[in-house]
Amino acid sequence: MAHDALLSELHSLRDQVTGVMESAVATVDGLLVVADTDGAQPEVVSALAAATLGLGKRTGHEVGMGELREVVIRCRGGYIVVYAVGQVALLAVLADEGLDVTRLHIESRPAVERLGALLTKEHSAN
Amino acid sequence: MNGQYSTGLSTPTTASLDDLGPVGTMLREHGRAKLSGLLRISGSPGGTVFLRDGLVVAASTPASPGPESLLLRSGRVSEEAWNLAFTAGAPSGHLAAELVAQSAIGTAGLEVVCLSAIFDAVFAMELFGVETCEPETTGPHGLLPPLPVLPGITTDRLVRDLSRRMAMTAAWQEIGVYPQCRPVAIRPLPESSLQVEKIRQDVLLKCNGRRTPRDIAFVLGQGLYVVMQEIASLAEAGLLEPSLPGAPKKVSAEDPTKPPGLPQRRRGTSKVGKALPQRPDRPTIEPRIPPDLTVRPEENPET
């Protein structure tokens, strides 16, 4: 089932990248698809991540910096990183302040690709 | 389990202390060469060690909390005091002096935290595994992370402590406590007012089967070694299970029983109205489904 495949992608991201605590996949309009969360409320994270991604894309476009890579929010207690997954979805990653940022950048690209492939399969199957 | 606190808390043999790991070897080599610069240690996750004249002044790694996390997460220094001291002192490299000047923490207390962060970082890098090490000479005026320990610690002292800690962790592995384990609490601890017991209690409360010892160390603002020691001791006492092989991980999703498919935007589908705290002056948003959508034909996969 694609749901399990999506979830195992999120689990392996948490296993591979030191500092990743929680993550969620949502549609670009902020509806939760699947989440590997602990304390965060996945529906709220999905909705806010969609708004964050939209704002990031728009800002990047406005100042002419090209295509969006990801939106990174840094707080005292950690990071919130939002990636676009194709045209239909997004990946939100919550991490603590010790996050291995370099590793996340390396691991997240292929993870986003795989998530995109799984979601497109689902989308076209519908 | 028989004999509380037996395994893991015994004194390691001297033979194991002479066995230098990769980090210990690199530290000793560059300490003796009086390096002023940094060692970029690649591994999973690796880290950086900063040296001045062969003395270690700072070390940072994603695998263990640095001085900032240790001070703020544990509540030793308040957020407000940190922000004030950081703004005033960090650009000129006087963060430590500013923290003390604002009475946020005492000189001795601060030094203990910064020293323990270095010992812990070096231990964490060795524990999680190291691939390569690249030395880089920056000279005596190279940029240092906030809160360095000056003039620094001799590499011999660091290496001695590292060997002792590694020998301890080898014993913990036998009871299933290793860096990647995700312990689960089984029984709660009886209430206690002792400070030592408080850390034990805090560690146990964070063992939910998701967090590794490193994650718990960050959440609590305690050193990785201290947290692993507590986990080993709690495991010995039978209060937690160090790792559950193949344990079902917590899942939250739209509805796993439904056939796969991206959720569609309809009023109320996000459930955000339910997840957000309710305010008495605002009515809750309930899903309003148009009449033609209220009865949806069941999808039969066989037809």
Q: Judge whether residue B212 has pLDDT over 80.
A: yes
CA pair distance B21, B286, nearest whole angstrom: 61
String of DSSP letters for B44-75: SS-EEEEEETTEEEEEE-TTS--HHHHHHHTT
B271 or B144, which is more confident: B144
Other beta carbons less than 10 A from residue B22's beta carbon: 16
User: Which residues of chain A have a CB within 8 Å of the CB of B215?
Assistant: 21, 96
CB B105 within 8 A of CB B78: no
Token pair of B139, please? 């000279």
pLDDT tens per residue, range B218-271:
999 999 999 999 999 999 999 999 987 654 444 444 455 554 567 777 776 667
| Beta bridge pairs of residue A91 | A25, A83
C-alpha B41, offset from chain centre: 18
DSSP 3-state assignment of B191?
coil
DSSP 3-state assignment of B280?
coil
Mean pLDDT of B176-194: 87
User: Which residues of chain B have a CB within 8 Å of the CB of A36?
Assistant: 249-251
**Considering CB atoms only, which of B73, B256, B269 is closest to A31?**
B269
B271/A contact by beta carbon, under 8 A:
yes
CB B218 within 8 A of CB B73: yes
Confidence (pLDDT) at B4? 41
What is the tally of structural domains in chain A? 1
Q: What percent of chain A has pLDDT over 90?
A: 85
CB B58 within 8 A of CB B142: no
CA pair distance B153, B173, nearest whole angstrom: 29
Q: Under an 8 A CB cutoff, do B272 and A47 touch? A: yes
Q: Under an 8 A CB cutoff, do A47 and B215 touch? A: no
Domain of A100: which CATH number? 3.30.450.30
Whether cis (ω within 30° of 0) applies to the bond prior to B22 is: no
Mean pLDDT of chain B: 83
Mean pLDDT of B278-294: 55
CA pair distance B175, B241, nearest whole angstrom: 10
| Beta bridge pairs of residue A84 | A90
Give the pLDDT band (50/70/90) at residue B7. very low
CB B31 within 8 A of CB B51: yes
pLDDT tens per residue, range A40-68:
999 999 999 999 999 999 999 999 998 89
CA pair distance B226, B277, nearest whole angstrom: 37
Mean pLDDT of chain A: 93
Chain B interface, best mutation among A43, A74, A94, by max B CB count within 10 A: A43
Mean pLDDT of B186-206: 85
CA angle A3, A6, A11 (to 5 degrees): 120
CA pair distance B171, B226, nearest whole angstrom: 15
Confidence (pLDDT) at B141? 86
Domain span including residue A11: 2-125
String of DSSP letters for A1-34: -HHHHHHHHHHHHHHHSTTEEEEEEEETTS-EEE
Give the pLDDT band (50/70/90) at residue B10. very low
DSSP 8-state code for residue B208: B
CA angle B56, B44, A107 (to 5 degrees): 130
Confidence (pLDDT) at B243? 80
With a CB cutoff of 8 Å and minimum separation 6, the contacts of B89 are B95, B96, B97, B98, B99
CA pair distance B217, A83, nearest whole angstrom: 28
| Beta bridge pairs of residue B136 | B38
Give the pLDDT band (50/70/90) at residue A125. low
**Considering CB atoms only, which of B62, B214, B251 is closest to A7?**
B251
